[in-house]
Amino acid sequence: MPACCDCGEERKQYLIVYIVTMEKKSWDPAVAFPVCMTGILVTSVALEVVYLILSNPGNGQVTLLLLTSYLIFNVIGNMVKFIQTNPTIKGVFLEHGIMGQGWEYCYSCQTHVPPRCHHCFDCNVCVLRRDHHCTLLGKCVGHSNYRYFFCTLVHGWLALLLATFLNAEIFMEVLHEGFGFHSFFLLLMPWMMLVTGQVTLSAFVFAFVADTCVIGFLFCFAFFTLHSILLYRGSTTKEWFRGPTKEDYDLGWKRNFQEYLGERWYLVLLFPWIESRIPGNGINFQTAPNSRKFSKSTDL
């Protein structure tokens, strides 16, 4: 039974048949293509890092191999969980009395949607507490899969940091040979150098993967910084950019972590399959005490 709003108005009873299921759709090319490309990139980086570690025997080789395996395992595991988890309104059936403060009507889905739920034109469906559409994984980041997105980001960033550190040796060798136009273009445009026959295939592969590691590291670092701030504030990307209402859902850093990563937020980085129940249902959200936009809900 839903609780009342703090404004005193009794909320209409409504029935939520909330079925959390994986999307049963077949392989959608819009999802499969970016996932395959991301998988190829992850595999390339992993193979190159393992090759670099094995080709430089010495102290710490076993430790580096174990660390690399752990990071790659977590990246792939969280990616799989992210793709399997459905953050959309599919499987969420709302019956009579759904209208409330903050609810809007989506003309594409032809249904009323709760606060923080927004339509994604790539996924072609509304997403509960939508953050953004992840192009690399071909799916939206929302209420139920944010944890896996964030963990993929953290482990991906650490793996690319390690790869960049190991690749630094290659960069130093190139620089020691003299930083001429050949070295410059090899690192800047390896594809062009390969097509024009200026480099061997092995030199191209190393330059390409090394470039991917550096660019990926900077990319992940920027996203990690942004989402750490959003997580701390309990805000989505859209709410943060919107500005004036960005503090509406800020319940304090600890509660925000629970809302986004689950009740066992302090364990989720260790292993993708650790249970961490999200306290909310993605439909009703408790707001900060000074919020003026939506009324406070206690039925979490």
| Smaller CB separation from Zn ion, 54 or 99 | 99
Is residue 49 part of the contact set for Zn ion (CB under 5 A)? no
| Smaller CB separation from Zn ion, 49 or 113 | 113
Length of the chain: 300
Residue 248 has phi, psi (to 5 degrees) of -55, -40
Question: Distance between CA 228 and CA 147 in Å, rounded?
Answer: 12
| Smaller CB separation from Zn ion, 120 or 213 | 120
Q: Which stretch binds Zn ion (CB under 5 A): 93-101, 126-134, 207-215, 236-244?
A: 126-134
H or E stretch including 141? strand 139-141
Is residue 133 part of the contact set for Zn ion (CB under 5 A)? yes
Is residue 119 part of the contact set for Zn ion (CB under 5 A)? yes
H or E stretch including 126? strand 125-127
| Smaller CB separation from Zn ion, 53 or 120 | 120
Question: Distance between CA 118 and CA 109 in Å, rounded?
Answer: 10
Binding mask 148-187 for Zn ion (x = CB under 5 A): ----------------------------------------
Distances (CA, A) of 272 to 12, 62, 109, 151, 278: 38, 23, 31, 8, 14
Q: Which stretch binds Zn ion (CB under 5 A): 12-20, 80-88, 136-144, 266-274?
A: 136-144
Out of 92, 123, 159, 210, the residue judged to bind Zn ion by CB under 5 A: 123
Is residue 109 part of the contact set for Zn ion (CB under 5 A)? yes
Q: Which of 120, 126, 134, 213 is catalytic?
A: 134
* CB 207, min distance to Zn ion, A: 33
Contact 143, 114 (CB under 8 A): no
Residue closest to 80 by CA, chosen among 256, 271, 261: 271
* C-alpha dihedral sign at 93, 98, 103, 106: positive
Residue 40 has phi, psi (to 5 degrees) of -65, -40
For Zn ion (CB under 5 A), the number of binding residues is: 10
Out of 45, 71, 126, 230, the residue judged to bind Zn ion by CB under 5 A: 126
Query: Is 220 among the catalytic positions?
Result: no
Residues belonging to the active site: 134
Binding residues vs Zn ion (CB under 5 A): 106, 108-109, 119-120, 122-123, 126, 133, 140
